[in-house]
Structure formats: structure tokens, C-alpha cells
Amino acid sequence: MLFFTQCFGAVLDLIHLRFQHYKAKRVFSAAGQLVCVVNPTHSLKYAPTRCAAAQTSAEQGVPPPCHHHEAVHDPQLVPCTCPLYSCPWEGHLEVVVSHLRQTHCINILQGAEIVFLATDMHLPAPTDWIIMHSCLGHQFLLVLRKQEKYEGHPQFFATMMLIGTPTQADNFTYRLELNRNQRRLKWEATPRSVLECVDSVISDGDCLVLNTSLAQLFSDNGSLAIGIAITTSKVHNAEAEM
């Protein structure tokens, strides 16, 4: 009886594990997609960001204070691209991925198509869900943010940033897809470079934007599954053939 009980318990655990994996994938019909469960993180950027400081100075007619700082440093150095922190780190573009993984513990996934499963969507704003996506020989930063653009009305903003230059970003197209309850919503665009500020992209609305009711329509028990696919742009493919 003891042996049977232990074996039966192991079988139940296996069934439960497979059910949880199936539950995360069932909103997408494509087989073999990698599902990444991403937990929320509250933003620690209480101090003004470089982007906000530069924008405020420009509006007041005062040159941004970082101009002199940039003049005495290597112009090829870029600031930390993690949107969660006011991180003083600067480095070359090719070591940004190492910094994000080691210092900020951001996970990286590989594959042409993945499912980004954001949990605890009910948490108050501001909240971020972030992963890195390695695909087609490049690394991308996916940012999902819950933020109150208008007081008392939180919205969800999702965007894909290439860890590379704007010229390199123009060679790719990314697609974000929500699919649940016989409803489908797609956003397709060219990724922005991490040399641009994520805050500016969200402020401009150049990303997937969901209000609370729409996010709830596609969520499942407080989790939102977003299918991600990255391809090379048609213009880039045509030039390569020529």
C-alpha cells in the first residue's frame, strides 16, 4: 500500500505539471513554442531618468546637464538600458546583454517564436515584466509595463527593443499576439533600438497599448499570454536577394 501510495502521488504530480504547462500554452495553437512565465517587478526608478531630465531641460530652454558629461567620455558608451532602475552603468553596446543578465538578472530565451506569460496583472502601477529574446543572431528586450498615463486609469504597454543600433533595428519586424476566447489581437511593427529610451516609446504610444478592460478580456486568472514572433523585414530580404 505504501509503494502504491508513493507511485500514485508521483503520477498525480506529473499530471499536475503537464496540466500547468498545457494551461500556459493552450491559448496558442502552434506546437513547440517556448513558454516563459514572467513575474512582475515594481520599478525602482524613483529618481528622474536621463530621458526625463533631458526633456525637462529642453522644455525650459536649458541645455541638458549630460552634454558636458558626454563630451569627456567615450561617445560610443551607452547608458544602462534596463527600464526598471536608474542605473549609473555605462558601457559599449556589445556588453549590454552581459550587464542586464548579471546585474539585473533578466532572463534570456532563444527561439523564433515564444509565449510571454505575464503573471499578477492585477498589481498596482507602475509594474514591469521584462525578458530578453535571442533570435536571428540578435538580442531583443521585451518590456510590458502597467502604468497610469492618466490618473486612475492604468494601461498596459508592450514593446520590443533591439539591443543594437537604429539601423540594425530597421532590418526586423516583431509581432505581438493575444489570442483567447475566440478573440485575436495583433500588433506588428519595427522594433526600436535600446539607444532610445523605453519611457519615450511608451509616452509616444508607439507600442501595443491595452486598457484594463481589454487586458482582462485576454487574461486568464490574472495572467496575460503574449505570443512573440520576430522576422527579418521584407525590404531587407529584397535587398539581400538583389
- DSSP conformation class of 95: G
pTM beyond 0.75: the answer is no
What pLDDT sits at residue 234?
61
What nine digits make up the cell of 37? 512565465
In a domain, 163, yes or no: yes
C-beta of residue 84 within 8 angstroms of C-beta of residue 128:
yes
Rounded distance between C-alpha atoms, residue 94 and residue 76, angstroms: 11
Q: Is 53 helix (H, G, I), strand (E, B) or coil?
A: helix
What pLDDT sits at residue 107?
87
C-beta of residue 231 within 8 angstroms of C-beta of residue 171:
no
In a domain, 151, yes or no: yes
CATH number of the domain to which 153 belongs? 2.60.210.10
Number of domains in the chain: 1
Q: How many Cα atoms are found within 13 Å in the side-chain-facing hemisphere of 161?
A: 25
Q: Could you give the dihedral angle defined by the CA atoms of residues 131, 133, 134 and 136, in that order, rounded to the nearest 10 degrees?
A: -160
In a domain, 222, yes or no: yes
What pLDDT sits at residue 3?
52
What pLDDT sits at residue 10?
52
In a domain, 91, yes or no: no
In a domain, 80, yes or no: no
In a domain, 67, yes or no: no
Going 160 to 140 to 93 to 80, the CA torsion angle's sign is: positive
In a domain, 125, yes or no: yes
Rounded distance between C-alpha atoms, residue 202 and residue 196, angstroms: 11
In a domain, 144, yes or no: yes
What nine digits make up the cell of 149? 498615463
What is the mean pLDDT, run by run of 10 residues, along the chain of 242 residues? 53 49 47 75 57 41 40 67 84 90 88 90 92 93 90 92 95 95 94 90 92 94 94 62 44
- What is the span of the domain harbouring residue 129? 29-41+111-232
What pLDDT sits at residue 78?
84
What pLDDT sits at residue 140?
95
